């Protein structure tokens, strides 16, 4: 058995690890599951902290940058995106 990586992208409502999840994506390197965009109505976890308690390791946290003057109310990229990984055995 070899260890394969699974990635979980969670975008939360704020930088808090306990904040609610607004969007997510899962990529399964084990091949056991196939996920696509919009394949579920509810996120797999209620927060980043909830995912961590289930064994996911945080490998990237969002940079907390202040908005540029004049752009305080505009939207663009997902500001509070966390990348998590889990290593699982696969054949």
State how many domains the chain has: 1
Give me the tens of pLDDT residue by residue for the chain, a chain 91 residues long.
799 999 999 999 998 999 999 999 999 999 888 887 778 889 999 999 999 999 999 998 887 777 678 776 766 666 788 899 999 988 7
Rounded to whole angstroms, the maximal C-alpha distance in the chain is 54
Give the span between the Cα atoms of 49 and 19, in whole angstroms: 9
| pLDDT at residue 78, as a whole number | 65
Q: Look up the domain containing 9 and give its range.
A: 2-90
Cα radius of gyration rounded to whole Å, the chain: 15
Query: What would the pLDDT profile of 27-40 be if each residue is shown by its tens digit?
Result: 999 988 888 777 88
Angle CA 52–64–28, to nearest 5: 35
């Amino acid at each position: 058995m070899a260890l394969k990586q699974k990635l979980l992208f969670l975008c939360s409502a704020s930088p808090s690890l306990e904040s609610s999840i607004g969007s997510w994506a899962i990529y399964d390197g084990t091949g056991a599951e196939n996920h696509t965009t919009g394949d579920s109505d509810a996120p797999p976890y209620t927060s980043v902290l909830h995912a961590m308690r289930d064994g996911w390791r945080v490998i990237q946290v969002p940079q907390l940058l202040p908005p540029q003057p004049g752009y305080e109310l505009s939207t663009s990229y997902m500001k509070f995106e966390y990348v998590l990984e889990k290593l699982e055995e696969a054949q």
